[in-house]
């Protein structure tokens, strides 16, 4: 461990110019993350041209600020409006929004912000201390292991199904089926129904915004007359002591979820959403008062946000150590380095130690900046809840349309928001959970791609169970499904028996 290069890296990042760039990046990332339709990936791509005239450390510092801020920003709209700002903040809404509805908006936001910072710090430390080791394990992941991991993640559909397992599985399969629209890995066009717009498939962002954002907005419209009561002063206060108490109570959850985030982030193409869903499911399985998950359990927010932000540290591991960017955001960030003639890869640690350490330093400092800015903005953010729905709903619909259009410049995507919004609203009325749809939509293509790759490399299906890591994930998938079925059966018999005499008293 070269102390001098670490010290030099911190000195570079703490230079007033770079500190300002980092702060601007974090704020821009938070704004992009909290507006449904805009994503940190988009913000990073928009910021990329501005880095042309910067040195590598300045450029990468700005990008990291946007990345870290963007991963966290989704919690703001998720908690205040029930609308996930980014795909990876879907699970934050499961408990964050109910807490807001219960009058605990300050507590939920405070906990989310603290969890985001915690996750970022853990991710940064993991990158610094364990980067090469984790990269070594990640290299052992072939298509069999990634398929089995995705299969395990898909079994979470059972855990997200709530009261009706059958409806949840139907919803998950619906998401998987929608994901097959467009060209398959072999180049065959599927399910276009004669429409050229469908040849490109249906992007996950319009579906996410339609199902979660638009349907939630229309549910808010149902309660428009009740909203004139407004929030009380107590509800807009931030209970700092309570937030820290909650965080301490969920410390093992936070550590476990951060570890999951780091590990899954280190797997190229696994995605932050996979990490958040797995972390949420594990928090539900291991947490106390499981019945409160989905109704306002602080553990749900902690699991989601720590995992979400820990992915940032994990995602840099294959990028820096192996030169393999895990997603578009990583690829753009490393474009900054390639512009300056620096090639990410195994030699980067030796040839550019200050640069590598500056990535770690930028992540640590951005966690503090994010904590500071979001905490300062919190009293203002909570007041968003005071804006009447009569004004808020049309504004969010417009912003969602703009963000969706900005994705591919196609009106078709905006029409998808309308149609999936209507579908989401109707599905909720029929008690069909929406989480499984988005899980199927995001994970479906990965599952099919990796399955085909694995079978092309070796047509023997037995390879999935003879490879130890793949077998481990298949066993975990079976256990996860069995546990969810057992829990569902338990809940049904408890409902039939009714409350026990001691509870009734």
Partner 1 sequence: MADRIFAIAVLLFTAAFFAESRSFAAKNATQTLSSAFFPTLIIAVMSAFAILVFIRSFKRPTPGISFSGLAARLKEHWRIPVLFAMFAGYVALMPAAGFRISTILFLLAGFIVLQPRFQTKRLLLYVPLSLALAYGIFFIFERQLHILLP
Residues that bind partner 1 (CB under 8 A): 46, 164, 166-167, 169-170, 173-174, 176-177, 180, 184, 186, 188, 190-191, 193, 214, 218, 221-222, 224-225, 227-228, 388-391, 393-395, 397-399, 401-402, 405-406, 409, 411, 414-415, 418, 421-422, 425, 429-432, 448, 451-452, 455-456, 459
Q: How far is the CB of 49 from partner 1 (least distance, A)?
A: 9
Q: How far is the CB of 224 from partner 1 (least distance, A)?
A: 6
Residue with structure tokens 């919690």? 75
Residue 39 φ/ψ region, left for φ over 0, alpha for ψ in the -120 to 50 degree band, beta for the rest: beta
β-partners of residue 182 are: 190
Would you say the C-alpha torsion 333, 335, 340, 342 has a positive or negative sign? positive
Residue 344 DSSP code: P
CA distance 117 to 69: 10
CA distance 96 to 216: 14
Helix (H, G, I), strand (E, B) or coil at 189: strand
Question: Is 31 or 113 the residue whose CB approaches partner 1 more closely?
Answer: 31
Question: Is 429 or 494 the residue whose CB approaches partner 1 more closely?
Answer: 429
CA distance 312 to 310: 5
3 state SS for 32-64: HHHCCCCCHHHHHHHHHHHHCCCCHHHHHHHHH
The pair of three-digit structure tokens given for residue 466, joined into one six-digit string: 């003879």
Contacts (Cβ under 8 Å, ≥6 apart) of 426:
none
Question: Is 53 or 194 the residue whose CB approaches partner 1 more closely?
Answer: 194
Q: How far is the CB of 459 from partner 1 (least distance, A)?
A: 6
**How many CB atoms sit inside 10 A of residue 411's CB?**
12
Q: How far is the CB of 268 from partner 1 (least distance, A)?
A: 22
Radius of gyration of the chain (CA): 22
Question: Is 174 or 200 the residue whose CB approaches partner 1 more closely?
Answer: 174
The pair of three-digit structure tokens given for residue 247, joined into one six-digit string: 């965080």
Q: How far is the CB of 353 from partner 1 (least distance, A)?
A: 36
How far the first Cα of the chain sits from its last, in Å, is 62
Residue with structure tokens 């298949």? 474
Question: Is 11 or 461 the residue whose CB approaches partner 1 more closely?
Answer: 461
The pair of three-digit structure tokens given for residue 27, joined into one six-digit string: 């704020």
Q: How far is the CB of 181 from partner 1 (least distance, A)?
A: 9
Q: How far is the CB of 82 from partner 1 (least distance, A)?
A: 16
Helix (H, G, I), strand (E, B) or coil at 195: coil
Question: Is 4 or 458 the residue whose CB approaches partner 1 more closely?
Answer: 458
**How many CB atoms sit inside 10 A of residue 125's CB?**
17
Question: Is 64 or 401 the residue whose CB approaches partner 1 more closely?
Answer: 401
Question: Is 86 or 319 the residue whose CB approaches partner 1 more closely?
Answer: 86
Q: How far is the CB of 112 from partner 1 (least distance, A)?
A: 26
User: Taking the C-alpha atoms of 486, 488, 493 and 498 in order, what is their torsion angle to the nearest 10 degrees?
Assistant: 140
CA distance 134 to 129: 10
CA nearest neighbour of 323 among 334, 309, 310, 332: 334
Q: How far is the CB of 454 from partner 1 (least distance, A)?
A: 9
Question: Is 255 or 419 the residue whose CB approaches partner 1 more closely?
Answer: 419
Q: How many residues does the chain have?
A: 505
Question: Is 212 or 263 the residue whose CB approaches partner 1 more closely?
Answer: 212
β-partners of residue 183 are: 189
Q: How far is the CB of 395 from partner 1 (least distance, A)?
A: 6
Question: Is 172 or 300 the residue whose CB approaches partner 1 more closely?
Answer: 172
The pair of three-digit structure tokens given for residue 76, joined into one six-digit string: 């703001």
Q: How far is the CB of 218 from partner 1 (least distance, A)?
A: 6
């Amino acid at each position: 461990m070269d102390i001098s290069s670490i010290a030099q890296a911190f000195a570079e990042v703490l230079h007033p110019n770079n500190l300002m760039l980092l702060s601007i990046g974090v704020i821009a990332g938070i704004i992009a993350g909290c507006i449904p339709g805009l994503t940190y990936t988009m913000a990073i791509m928009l910021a990329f041209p501005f880095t042309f005239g910067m040195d590598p450390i300045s450029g990468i510092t700005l990008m990291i600020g946007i990345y870290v801020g963007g991963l966290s920003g989704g919690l703001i709209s998720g908690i205040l409006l029930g609308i996930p700002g980014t795909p990876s903040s879907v699970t934050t809404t499961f408990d964050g929004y109910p807490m807001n509805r219960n009058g605990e908006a300050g507590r939920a936001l405070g906990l989310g912000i603290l969890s985001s910072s915690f996750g970022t710090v853990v991710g940064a430390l993991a990158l610094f201390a364990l980067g090469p080791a984790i990269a070594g394990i990640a290299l052992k992941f072939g298509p069999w292991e990634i398929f089995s991991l995705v299969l395990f993640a898909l079994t979470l559909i059972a855990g997200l199904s709530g009261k009706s397992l059958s409806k949840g599985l139907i919803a998950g399969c619906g998401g998987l089926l929608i994901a097959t629209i467009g060209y398959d890995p072999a180049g065959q066009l599927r399910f276009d129904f004669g429409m050229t717009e469908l040849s490109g498939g249906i992007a996950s962002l319009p579906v996410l915004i339609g199902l979660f954002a638009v349907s939630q907005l229309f549910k808010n419209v149902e309660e428009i007359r009740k909203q004139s009561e407004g929030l009380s002063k107590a509800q807009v206060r931030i209970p700092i002591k309570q937030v820290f108490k909650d965080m301490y109570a969920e410390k093992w959850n936070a550590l476990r979820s951060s570890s999951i985030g780091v590990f899954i982030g280190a797997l190229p193409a696994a995605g932050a959403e996979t990490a958040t869903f797995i972390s949420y499911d594990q928090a539900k399985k291991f947490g106390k008062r499981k019945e409160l998950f989905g109704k306002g359990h602080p553990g749900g927010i902690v699991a989601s946000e720590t995992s979400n932000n820990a992915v940032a540290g994990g995602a840099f591991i294959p990028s820096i150590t192996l030169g393999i960017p895990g997603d578009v955001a990583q690829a753009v960030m490393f474009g900054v380095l390639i512009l300056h003639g620096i090639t990410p890869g195994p030699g980067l640690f030796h040839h550019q130690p200050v640069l590598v350490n500056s990535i770690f330093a930028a992540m640590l400092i951005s966690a503090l900046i994010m904590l500071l800015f979001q905490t300062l903005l919190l009293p203002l953010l909570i007041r968003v809840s005071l804006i009447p729905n009569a004004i808020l709903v049309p504004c969010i619909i417009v912003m969602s349309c703009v963000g969706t259009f900005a994705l591919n410049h196609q009106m078709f995507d905006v029409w998808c928001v309308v149609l999936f919004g209507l579908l989401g609203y109707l599905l909720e009325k029929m008690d069909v959970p929406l989480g499984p749809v988005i899980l199927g939509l995001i994970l479906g293509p990965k599952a099919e791609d990796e399955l085909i790759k694995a079978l092309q490399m070796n047509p023997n299906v037995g390879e999935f169970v003879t490879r130890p890591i793949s077998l481990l994930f298949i066993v975990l998938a079976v256990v996860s499904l069995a546990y969810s079925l057992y829990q569902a059966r338990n809940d049904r018999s408890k409902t039939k028996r009714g409350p026990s005499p001691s509870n009734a008293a």
